[in-house]
Amino acid sequence: MAKCVDLTAETFEQFTAQPLVLVDFWMPGCAPCRMVEPILNELAAEYDGKIAIGGLDTSAHMEVAMKYGVMSVPTLVIFKSGQEAERSVGAKSKAVLAAWIDKYL
C-alpha cells in the first residue's frame, strides 16, 4: 500500500521530475498540516501508479520552500514532469483533493 514519500532537499528534484506529483509542504506543529496528512496517505494508496504524493518538512528544508515561494503551510503543489502546474494553500477535504488530482489524470 502506497503512502506519502518523505522528501528532503536532496530527493525533491528527482521526485518532482516524475510525470505527475503532488507535494505537501508542511511543518511540525501545524494543525491543518496534521489534518491533511492522513488524507494524503489515503489518496496515495487510492491513486497508486497514477500520481506520486510526497511531503516536505519546510522547517527542515527551508531552502526548498523558499525556492518554490511557499509562504504558509500546508501548501499543496501539483507538478507535471518537474514543472509546477497548480498550487493550493490550506487544508482541504479528501473529496476536494481527489477532484483536484482528477483534473490532471
Question: Which residue numbers are catalytic?
Answer: 30, 33
Q: How many helices (H) and strands (E) in the chain?
A: 4, 5
Contacts of 9 (CB under 8 A, 6+ apart): 61, 63, 64
Handedness of CA 105, 71, 89, 12 (dihedral sign): positive
Identify any residues that bridge with 58 across adjacent strands, giving them in sequence order: none
Output the CA angle 34-5-60, nearest 5 degrees: 65
